[in-house]
């Protein structure tokens, strides 16, 4: 099996700005935006994009069913479980026809970040299966944010203080000496948040390969470990973004992790689970929260040699299958997100009142039996696209 490496500096040097026609101008390297007249610049208005202002031209609508079956063990005295649900307050998606079905009572709870989850609590339960099924219609918007560095500036000390919850290392994302050195060597003296974010994006593309390219040789960490990803140079979406998050923490760039999933076009109407996906958003003053998906970009940054071992894995890692090397897609996923996604929750190390420590992430379910974490469930997310 041949391996591939993408020469990230080729993109960094050009700082190409393509995707949703939202760049706001060409980076001049002097903090201005060219307006077509020689020697003149136009200063952007310092207004951060939020809500509908983030949306591109594309939308997609899906009828989805998210079903989890828990197998309650014999002799259990208590079972507590939490289940992912589409965030109804997210401006990038519209949720309707929302329904939860279960033979037992369920409630909806929120964590400190405002994420909603379905909660189930059972006392002296009968052994056997318990099904929690949610169904909903979701209209998802493409997200397109400007990535012209001239639109932003370094954060002030007051701004960083207000964003301090987005400057905390994740438990699986410790900033080791090696990761700190990688971040500092990559960024150098640069302080512009969008330039810093792009330098780190290209560095992760250069350093890490998606495990699905060569599943006989590589594997994911299983926990989204930044250290594992740094050392092994491979992983899945959580590994890519765990390392990227740690690099951001090393240079004090506010960053948040978003967990969700794709509605994968090859699985439209198919009775097969969609798995999960995650991405990131970094904050830039005067611009807002800018999304990026370096793990998807990695597959488009190279010609992946498809074979019997990796074909299905590669195709089902992407929203619409793999169509070969596509540097426009690499550019797109810095600042933009496609419309084939669902947003489950923000953040890692979640606290929902569970007994057995923070929850690493929760795009499926999390359960405890008698106060101890228990892998007693199986999730299936299926959908049908409405056209």
Task: Give the number of other CB atoms < 10 A from CB of residue 373.
Answer: 14
Q: Are residues 253 and 367 in the same domain?
A: no
Structural domain boundaries, residue 227: 9-13+49-57+144-346
Residues 154, 70 within the same domain: no
Domain count, the chain: 2
Region of 280 (left: φ > 0; alpha: ψ -120 to 50; beta: rest) is beta
Based on the fold, state whether residues 160 and 134 are members of the same structural domain. no
pLDDT digits (tens, 9 = 90+) for 20-73: 644 333 222 333 332 333 333 445 455 688 888 999 999 999 999 999 999 999
Entry pTM: 0.88
pLDDT, tens digit, 9 for 90 and up, residues 139-197: 999 999 999 999 999 999 999 999 999 999 999 999 999 999 999 999 999 999 999 99
CATH classification of the domain holding 369: 2.60.40.2250
Residues 176, 134 within the same domain? no
- The reply to whether 332 and 375 lie within a common domain is no
Token code pair at residue 21: 């026609």
Tell me whether strands 336-337 and 128-144 are parallel, antiparallel or unpaired. Answer: antiparallel
pLDDT tens digits, residue range 284-341? 999 999 999 999 999 999 999 999 999 999 999 999 999 999 999 999 999 999 999 9
Query: Do 154 and 201 fall within a single domain?
Result: yes
Same-domain pairing of 151 and 287: yes
Examine residue 32 and state whether it is found in any structural domain, yes or no.
Answer: no
Domain-embedded: residue 110: yes
Residue 289 counted as domain residue: yes
d(CA 310, CA 214) in angstroms, rounded, equals: 7
Residue 315 tokens, joined: 């195709």
């Amino acid at each position: 099996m041949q391996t591939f490496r993408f020469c990230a500096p080729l993109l960094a040097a050009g700082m190409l700005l393509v995707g949703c026609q939202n760049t706001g101008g060409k980076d001049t390297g002097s903090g201005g935006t060219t307006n077509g007249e020689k020697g003149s610049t136009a200063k952007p208005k310092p207004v951060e994009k939020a809500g509908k202002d983030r949306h591109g031209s594309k939308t997609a609508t899906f009828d989805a069913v998210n079903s989890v079956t828990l197998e309650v063990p014999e002799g259990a005295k208590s079972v507590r479980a939490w289940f992912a649900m589409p965030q109804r307050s997210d401006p990038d998606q519209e949720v309707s026809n929302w329904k939860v079905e279960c033979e037992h009572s369920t409630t909806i709870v929120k964590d400190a970040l405002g994420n909603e989850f379905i909660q189930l609590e059972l006392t002296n339960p009968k052994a056997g299966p318990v099904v929690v099924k949610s169904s909903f219609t979701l209209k998802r918007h493409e997200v397109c944010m400007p990535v012209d560095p001239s639109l932003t500036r370094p954060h002030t000390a007051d701004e960083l203080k207000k964003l301090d919850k987005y400057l905390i290392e994740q438990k699986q994302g410790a900033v080791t000496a090696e990761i700190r050195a990688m971040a500092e060597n990559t960024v150098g003296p640069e302080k512009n948040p969008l330039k810093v974010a792009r330098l780190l994006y290209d560095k992760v593309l250069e350093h890490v390969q998606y495990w699905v390219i060569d599943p006989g040789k590589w594997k994911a960490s299983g926990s989204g470990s930044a250290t594992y990803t740094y050392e092994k140079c491979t992983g899945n979406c959580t590994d890519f973004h765990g390392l990227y998050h740690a690099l951001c923490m090393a240079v004090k760039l506010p960053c948040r992790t978003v967990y969700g999933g794709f509605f994968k076009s090859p699985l439209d109407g198919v009775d097969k689970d969609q798995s999960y996906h995650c991405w990131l958003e970094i904050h830039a003053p005067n611009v807002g929260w800018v999304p990026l998906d370096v793990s998807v970009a990695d597959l488009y940054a190279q010609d992946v040699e498809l074979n019997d071992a990796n074909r299905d894995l590669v195709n089902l890692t992407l929203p619409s299958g793999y169509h070969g090397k596509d540097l426009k897609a690499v550019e797109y996923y810095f600042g933009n997100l496609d419309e084939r996604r669902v947003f489950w929750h923000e953040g890692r190390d979640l606290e929902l009142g569970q007994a057995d420590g923070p929850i690493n992430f929760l795009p499926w379910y999390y359960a405890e039996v008698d106060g101890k974490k228990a892998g007693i469930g199986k999730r299936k997310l299926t959908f049908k696209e409405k056209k």
